Homo-oligomer: A and B are copies of this chain.
């Protein structure tokens, strides 16, 4: 079983326990957080990261901010809550899921304006715990659908006694969510059922999430993992070592174009060349039907130092020009299927997505 990224330990007076991801992959240290300032810092310095995990951390953070309040009336309580929400929102101002989670708690509180403050506090903690359950449910569903997909693709696995050999890029694993991950959920579900699975993890330059996080969490969960540099993916595919690629996504456009960590596009093209299925684990929360296509997604450029001195030592000449896009867009034609928590979507992805959201709104 994968490690728990974040959980609540104890009752209303308990603490949020999270893995300090800044110490990975060389040290596993749990941090028990019992005040909002420590949670703010944990989000700020990336002790916790990944959209779902950040959302949960923010919800716990809000609870910690107000659980010892002396406010006796709703108005005072709500003012304190909103101030704490504003404070937490500043910890990572570009993380959309952070605002979504804060607003969810604020809306919940507003909906219980007529209840006594102690009861409202309890609602907040319950809601944060519900967010973990929901995240686990979404991830597990992606895991189930993903595993079915591997089986239906006629790949080796349980029936044949052979091993599913999966290549992944970056970290869309348990450590980006509460526990199960998105791209790695099918892997964990397979492992849970005793189906042999082996993951090839791209190290994922420049920030090495694959080396530091994906390799670590799979190792912790006892899943066989082989680390490669990004530029070795072509060779392992050419050698017939990969049955399927599964990656996560930051954002899927309405036509099925996929924005994800830089390097995903290259992997998708290689997969096509070697006839390896390219699957994207995409919780519906990552699908943005307001975007017609991936071309509309602006590509964020990050600072050159991530490339030139990412791990302490300078490895490129001073003053060298660097291009450092944070992610890339994989056109839908390279995507074999999207794995959502509501089922698998196949090409034409635009129509499949439209259909999914039509049934979601009409159902």
Size range of the chain A interface in the assembly: 35 or more
This chain's copy number in the assembly: 2
Partner of A317, one of B200, B215, B231: B215
Q: Is the interface of A mostly helix, strand, loop or mixed?
A: mixed
A269 contacts chain B at the CB level, 8 A cutoff: yes
A149 contacts chain B at the CB level, 8 A cutoff: no
Known: A231-B263, A266-B270, A321-B227. A238 touches B328 (CB 8 A): yes
- Report the separation of the CA atoms of residues A313 and B24 in the bound assembly, to the nearest whole angstrom: 12
Known: A227-B320, A315-B212. A262 touches B308 (CB 8 A): no
- Report the separation of the CA atoms of residues A218 and B25 in the bound assembly, to the nearest whole angstrom: 35
Known: A229-B262, A315-B212, A316-B211. A307 touches B203 (CB 8 A): yes
A26 contacts chain B at the CB level, 8 A cutoff: yes
- Report the separation of the CA atoms of residues A203 and B307 in the bound assembly, to the nearest whole angstrom: 9
A226 CB contacts on chain B under 8 angstroms:
321-323
Closest CB in chain B relative to A296 CB, distance in Å:
15
- Report the separation of the CA atoms of residues A193 and B276 in the bound assembly, to the nearest whole angstrom: 45
Closest CB in chain B relative to A126 CB, distance in Å:
36
List residues of A whose CB falls within 8 A of some B CB.
Answer: 24-26, 200, 202-206, 208, 211-212, 215-216, 219, 224-236, 238, 262-263, 265-266, 269-270, 272-273, 299, 307-308, 310-325, 328
